[in-house]
Structure 1
Amino acid sequence: MAIEPKTTREHILSLYGHISGVKKNLKHVHEDVENLGGKIDKIYWVLLTVAGTAVLFVLERMFG
Structure 2
Amino acid sequence: MANGKHPETEGEHIVALYGHITGVKKDVDQIRCTQRYIHEDIEKLGGKVDKIYWVLLATVGTVAMFLIEKFLR
- Compute the TM-score of the two structures, normalised by the length of structure 2: 0.57
In structure 1, distance between residues paired with 2:48 and 2:27: 32
The runs of 5 or more residues in structure 1 that have no matched partner are 5-12
Structure whose CA Rg is larger: 2
Q: Deviation of residue 29 (structure 1)?
A: 0.6
* 1:61 aligned residue: 63
| Aligned counterpart for 2:37 among listed residues 26, 35, 38 | 35
Q: Deviation of residue 43 (structure 1)?
A: 0.9
The runs of 5 or more residues in structure 2 that have no matched partner are 7-13, 67-73
Structure 1 runs, 4 residues or longer, greater than 3 Å off: 1-4, 13-21
* 1:26 aligned residue: 28
- Amino-acid identity (%): 21
User: Which structure carries more relative contact order (alpha carbon 8 Å, separation 6+)?
Assistant: 1
* 1:9 aligned residue: none
- Compute the TM-score of the two structures, normalised by the length of structure 1: 0.64
Counterpart check, 1:44 vs 2:43? no
In structure 1, distance between residues paired with 2:63 and 2:18: 66
